[in-house]
Each structure stands twice: as C-alpha cells, then as structure tokens.
Structure 1
Amino acid sequence: MATISRPSRALFRFSGAEAQKLLFDVVTGRLLAEPGPAIWWALLSPQGKIQAEGLASFEDGAFWLDVDRSVADSFLKRMRMYKLRAAVEIADLRDSHAVGWDGGKPLTRVIGTVAEAAAWAPADDRHAASRIAAGLAEQGTDFAADAVFPHDIGMDLLGGVDFKKGCYIGQEVVSRMQRRGTARRRPVIVSGVEAPMETPIKVGGRDAGSVGAAVDGKAVAIVRLDRFDGGAVTVADRPVTVTLPDWATYRLGESPAAD
C-alpha cells in the first residue's frame, strides 16, 4: 500500500543533551533515546486533561513528535516554556516535513520531507476507518484540547501512560485515577452514525457522551459507561449499535469505584 498523506498532523523535532529528560519530565509516555516503534504520548494540563497527543520516536539522535495541527501552536508554546534553559533544541518542522500512514496499525506513522511526501497518495479516510475500527480516539476529530483525561481514550491500557517513571505534568491526577479505579469514561465504537462530530449519544434519552467524526457510518465515542443501563441507544434520534474495542478491559454498564 502506498503511503497516504496525513496533512492534519504537525511534526516537531527535539534534540540536544537534555531532550530526553525534558520529555521524560513533561509527557505521559516513556520515551527512550533508542530506535524502536513509535510510542503514544500526551501532554497534559496540571489538572490531568490532554492538551496534545500523538506519536513519538527516536531517530538520527533526536525525538520526533507529531500532534494535531489544531494544537500545534499551543504545544510548541508550552514546550518552549517547559524547556526554560535546558540544553534542548525544538524544531518546528511543519514547513519542511510531513506525516503519513502506510496501512499498518493505526498507531504507526511514516515521516518524510515535503519533497518525499509529494509522491505519497493524497489524504483519504482509510487511516480514520482503521483507527475507528480499533476504537482509538484522536484529537481534532474525536475530542478537543482540555476535554478528556488519558483514561477516557484508553491510553492507560495501550501504553500511552507510564505509571512507573515518576512525575510529569498532570501525573498526580492520572495516577490517582489509576490507583482508585475512578475512570468514568471510555472509548466505544458506534455503528449507524449519520450525524456530525460532537453530536450527543444518548441512552434512554439521557446523554452518555458524544461521537467523533464518522466514516461510513462508524465513529468512536467517548462515553460514560455507567449510563448504559439497557435503554435504547441513539445518536440524533436514530438507533445505533455500540461495541467495545478488542483491547478493552471495561464493559458497558460498569460503575467506577468511589473516589
């Protein structure tokens, strides 16, 4: 399969003697200075909400992180603020590099120069369809900045949060949620959607969450699990079907532990 362009992604490169330490102290994932598969990560607010999320890898002596373009400016501003006087160079690669997808798992990517990306296939819905089928929510199409916790999109179950590495921005909130089992919202796959992003999903007429952008009638929704009590599930007054991702350890109808 030819590489498909993903123009919604913005790329940044972090290099320098203290680049790993900066990222280790700030983002949720365990980013190591060694080549390997891309790691899912998030930059959180002090209150534990996701400000930016994406994939990160280490190549050519630097860390390469991508984010949704809607939060690229704020991400760069925050990272420069956290950098202070550390020996880190943050390069904004939006004009020189591009992000694509080669048909592998949804949480993978291809990086190339703008010249290389000119030969890629134009953007289409195939990556989104693959991501939705896997039950993976993505910033920009499924949720906005400062709207969800990492647990709400399953980052705790898919390696996007390192619970052993110690402090990072928002760590106290996320660790408490993990320790106490108080996650209320989780991603589900909704079929039969004929409504735009952010349309409420209702159970027995009661709001349970909202759907992300749909592809061929399917979308990821971030929902309150405890709202699924057997009532009719609808989106824009139309019946829909809800299923759990294959990787889910949660179930519809379950209630979080008391905080």
Structure 2
Amino acid sequence: MPPTLCPVFSPYPDLMWTRLPSSGLRVTGADRTDFVHGQMTGDLRGAPTPGLVPCAFLNVRGQIEQFARAYRRPDDIYLHLDAGQAPLLAARLRRYIIFDQVELEDVSEVLRTVHVWDQAVPGWDDAGAGAQQWTLGGSLVLGGRVNRSGQPGVDLHYLARDEEAVLAALGGEERPLSELDALRVAAGIPDIQRDGLTGTLPQEVGLDVSGPLPAISYRKGCYVGQEIMARIEARGQTRFHLARVAGEGLPSHAEIRQGDKVVGQSGLSTGPLALARLRRELEDGAAVEVGGVSARVQLLGHD
C-alpha cells in the first residue's frame, strides 16, 4: 500500500512523479570502479563523482543482457536496474570476480525510486551535475537527470524506510506508470526491459551514441561484447534500428510482418503507438502488421 502523505506546503504544486519498478546493486571495494567499468558499455572511469552513466551489459555476441544506470559516488557504485534484474546482474558479475577487491550487495528491498517528470525537485540544482545527493524530508536522497518523457526529469532514489517523509517533502501529484510510458513512447525513448528488447544489439534499439538513449563508448577499452561493438562501428550500421509503429489497438511485444516476411518486433504498446525494432529498409509510412493488426511505420530520425 502507498504511504499516507502528510499535507505539507509544496513550492512545486504542479510537480508530477511516478513510482518506478526497480532493483539495484551496490558495488563497494577498492577495485569497484575498474571492475564495473570493465563489464559495461559506458565509460564509468570517465564519469565525474558523483556521476551518472547509462550502460548495457552484453553477452559475447554483443547482445544486451541487462540495461542499467550506473551512479558513481565517493564510496560506491550504485547500479539502478528494472525490477527483478539485480539478481541476474549480480550472478553475472560474480563470475568475473577473481582477484578483484569488490563486494556486491543487492539493495532492491531497501531502496525505492520515483521519476519526477521535470527537474522541479526541491533541492535539485538544474544547472548542476547529472547526479546529485542532498537531503529531502530529513533523509539523504540520490538523484539522476534522466529523460523518460521527452524532457529531462529526475530519477529520485531513497531508503524505503524514509518513503513517507521523502514523498511528503517532494509534494506534487503521483501519476501512473502507464502515463509516463505513453509520453516515453511518443518521444521515441526505449525502455529495454519494458519494451522487451533484451537479446538485441544496442545499436538496433537506440543505445548508440546518436540514439535517444546513448549508452555506448567506443573508446573505453575491452569489455564482454566489445569486439562486436567495434565491428559494428567499423561497418557503420546494423540491419535493424529503433522506429515506431502506429495503429489502433496495437499489441505489445508482437511480431511485425510485411506480407509473409518478419521485419521486426514491437515493444510495449500504449494503444495507438509502440516502439519497434525494425529492418532499416522499411520507409516512413510503410504498411505493416503488428501481431495481425494493421499499422504504419514512423521513422524517428535519430540515425
């Protein structure tokens, strides 16, 4: 049950926020930065402290296993993931710990996360770093600048035990995840887990440097799947890319066909729109079928 919030004065009465189904890992130890940096597609070493780096963890074929946002802090690395993903990533990382001084802690049960739709968060510095820590409602909170709706907002992380005080101090209005998803899809911003895009190449689903969710560094050195990323960079593009499909009553996570040919897959549907991993040769406005429902392709223009 959501907490009962005490009525307080909010300097941002129009502020809107949404609870995010989340999990998380805390990485500590002397080798934490080098260890995590060597596993992820983003450049953690190059991030400031505090800093925020979107990233993917790939298999040897270069396909996405997990997507995370890595927060570099003075004493730890916090990996924010979608719900249920922390145990999977922890198991993967433990396979690579040999002589590294690294400890992993699953903090999914002790932390909570909301996304504030814009940067009008009490205590947040709009002109400041992409990751910030401050006190809100008497509790220490961690914030990261994240675009989940077509404009920069803030992912706000805090201890579950402090939720009532933090949300009371935050004020504003809670909005359902479905509304945030609708804005996200309309803006062409992928959510790897909710759109069912694991098992794909990052460049196919908007995670390349020119995409809506850049999460790759081609200059950071070796990591699992890095050789495939280098080949794709040299080749210039993949056979698939991120696009959108439009139609009435589109199903989520469905096969996309043009005639008798499978040309892609849809992500989470908001009804009339869904993001899609589509073959590049499809033109804007092309007719397709999404799980048997008629639709039209909408190119996003990121590439």
TM-score of the superposition, structure 2-length normalised?
A: 0.73
SS of equivalent to 1:163: coil
- Residues in 1 aligned to 2:246 and 2:162: alpha-carbon distance in whole angstroms: 36
The answer on whether the counterparts of 2:286 and 2:296 sit within 8 Å (CA) in structure 1 is no
SS of equivalent to 1:140: coil
Distance 1:49 1:193, change over 3 A: farther
Bigger-Rg structure (1/2):
2
1:163 and 2:218 matched: yes
- The 5-angstrom pairing of residues 48-87 of structure 1 reads 48-87=62-101
Q: Which amino acid aligns with 2:40?
A: V
- Residues in 2 aligned to 1:35 and 1:127: alpha-carbon distance in whole angstroms: 29
CA shift for structure 1 position 18 = 0.8
- Residues in 2 aligned to 1:227 and 1:122: alpha-carbon distance in whole angstroms: 35
1:139 and 2:139 matched: no
Number of equivalences: 246
Distance 1:162 1:195, change over 3 A: same
CA shift for structure 1 position 179 = 0.8
The runs of at least 4 aligned residues of structure 1 exceeding 3 Å deviation read 116-123, 227-231
Deviations 1:11-46 (A, max 9, x none): 111122211101111100011463355321000001
Which of 153, 156, 164 is residue 110 of structure 1 equivalent to? 156
- Residues in 1 aligned to 2:285 and 2:250: alpha-carbon distance in whole angstroms: 22
CA shift for structure 1 position 182 = 4.2
CA shift for structure 1 position 58 = 1.8
SS of equivalent to 1:240: strand
1:45 and 2:59 matched: yes
> What is the RMSD computed on CA atoms of the aligned residues?
2.4
TM-score of the superposition, structure 1-length normalised?
A: 0.85
CA shift for structure 1 position 187 = 0.9
Q: Which amino acid aligns with 1:23?
A: V
Identity, % of aligned pairs?
24
Gaps of 5+ in 2: 1-14, 119-146, 168-173
In terms of fraction of residues, the more strand-rich structure is 2
The answer on whether the counterparts of 2:207 and 2:215 sit within 8 Å (CA) in structure 1 is yes
Judge which range, 48-57 or 127-136, deviates more: 127-136
* Equivalent residue, structure 2, for 1:252: none
Distance 1:59 1:3, change over 3 A: farther
Distance 1:193 1:24, change over 3 A: farther
Which of 213, 226, 232 is residue 281 of structure 2 equivalent to? 226
- Residues in 1 aligned to 2:295 and 2:281: alpha-carbon distance in whole angstroms: 18
- Residues in 2 aligned to 1:110 and 1:60: alpha-carbon distance in whole angstroms: 18
Which of 37, 40, 43 is residue 24 of structure 1 equivalent to? 37
SS of equivalent to 1:27: coil
The answer on whether the counterparts of 1:193 and 1:219 sit within 8 Å (CA) in structure 2 is no
The answer on whether the counterparts of 1:203 and 1:228 sit within 8 Å (CA) in structure 2 is no
* Equivalent residue, structure 1, for 2:110: 96
Gaps of 5+ in 1: 250-259
Q: Which amino acid aligns with 1:206?
A: K
